[in-house]
Structure 1
């Protein structure tokens, strides 16, 4: 009995230690990202992901950071590498956490990044893929503020292109701001971004 208790105590201590290391690693990666050191942040998330095989968050942030960087890069070779890296991370995160609206939002954003590289060639195919991801995310959780906002933001782009009414999208953005106010991330490391972007987008609506 003593041996069993000792083993259980050792196991719990190991879990607590691992959790602490995870939190420290994630905190460091977030700090690097906040300081604009995206390459270093991604490398840190990759190290965490290689250890935390059952946690989708490190791969989520690898995908998210590479996707955001793809929007801001004009070098086609760099963009291609960023998109590939982001897609690999999304695939890895999805294996760990299938049917996850947060991952679907990043997948939709990545499809958007691909679309804008060559709208004439990619527009029809990737517009459909983007909307498919947002529709799936909202079917799972209609109150996810990032899904509500990001879908509306994407649709505004299309509405401006086709010169159609953006009022329904602006109403959706206003709704997302209300959802952000009531949203509580599961942990400090779970996705919580988007409110500032939604507020700016609503100003543009008005």
Structure 2
């Protein structure tokens, strides 16, 4: 009996230690990201993802860091490098959980980054896929503010391109801002981003 209790105690300690290592690693990666050290943060999230394959979050942040960075450059080689890394991370997690709305939004953002880089080449090819992803995410999680906001953002871009009214999308951005106030992330490290961008987008929305 003593051996069993000792074994259970050791098992629990190992679980707590592993959880602690995960938390510490994630915290450090977020710290690096906050300091603008995108490459270091992405690399650390990638290492955590390899060690903690039951959590989709490390790869999610690998993809998010690299996708957001891709929107900030026009260098083809750099964009290809960033979005390839992002796509690989998302693909790994979507294979496990194809109905995760946060991953669906991120996949749509990767496509959008390609469209933003080369609208003439990628717009027609990827726009339909983006709307399909947002439609699926919205059906799964209609109260998720990132789903509502990013869908509206993409639709505004399309509306401006075609010269159509953006007021319905502006209303959706306002809705997203309200949803941010009530949305409760599942864990400490679950996605929370988007409110500041939504407020800024709303201020410029016409």
- TM tier, smaller: over 0.9
Give me the whole-angstrom Cα distance separating, in 2, the residues matched to 1:54 and 1:96.
9
Give me the whole-angstrom Cα distance separating, in 1, the residues matched to 2:98 and 2:52.
16
Bigger drift between 71-80 and 94-103 goes to: 94-103
Listed as ranges, the matches of 1:83-98 within 5 Å are 83-98=83-98
Listed as ranges, the matches of 1:112-123 within 5 Å are 112-123=112-123
1:131 alignment counterpart: 131
1:25 alignment counterpart: 25
Contact conserved, 1:94 with 1:103, CA < 8 A, in 2? yes
Residue by residue over 1:20-43, the C-alpha shift from the partner in whole angstroms, topping out at 9 and shown as x without a partner, is 000000000000001100000011
TM-score, scaled to structure 2: 0.97
2:2 alignment counterpart: 2
Tell me, what secondary structure is at the counterpart of 1:190? coil
Give me the whole-angstrom Cα distance separating, in 2, the residues matched to 1:166 and 1:75.
30
Unpaired runs of at least 5, structure 2: none
Tell me, what secondary structure is at the counterpart of 1:74? coil
The Cα RMSD (Å) is 1.0
Give me the whole-angstrom Cα distance separating, in 2, the residues matched to 1:97 and 1:19.
22
2:15 alignment counterpart: 15
Q: Kindly report structure 1 stretches of 4+ aligned residues shifted beyond 4 Å.
A: none
1:76 alignment counterpart: 76
Unpaired runs of at least 5, structure 1: none
2:159 alignment counterpart: 159
Tell me, what secondary structure is at the counterpart of 2:204? helix
Is 1:60 the counterpart of 2:64? The answer is no
Listed as ranges, the matches of 1:41-60 within 5 Å are 41-60=41-60
Give me the whole-angstrom Cα distance separating, in 1, the residues matched to 2:4 and 2:111.
51
1:200 alignment counterpart: 200
**Shift of residue 98 of structure 1?**
3.0
Residue by residue over 1:135-194, the C-alpha shift from the partner in whole angstroms, topping out at 9 and shown as x without a partner, is 111111100100000000110011111111111101100000110000111122110000
Give me the whole-angstrom Cα distance separating, in 2, the residues matched to 1:95 and 1:158.
29
1:145 alignment counterpart: 145
Contact conserved, 1:54 with 1:96, CA < 8 A, in 2? no
Give me the whole-angstrom Cα distance separating, in 2, the residues matched to 1:46 and 1:149.
27
Tell me, what secondary structure is at the counterpart of 1:68? helix
Matched positions, count: 206
Give me the whole-angstrom Cα distance separating, in 2, the residues matched to 1:31 and 1:97.
27
Is 1:35 the counterpart of 2:35? The answer is yes
Residue by residue over 1:68-92, the C-alpha shift from the partner in whole angstroms, topping out at 9 and shown as x without a partner, is 1111111111111111110000011
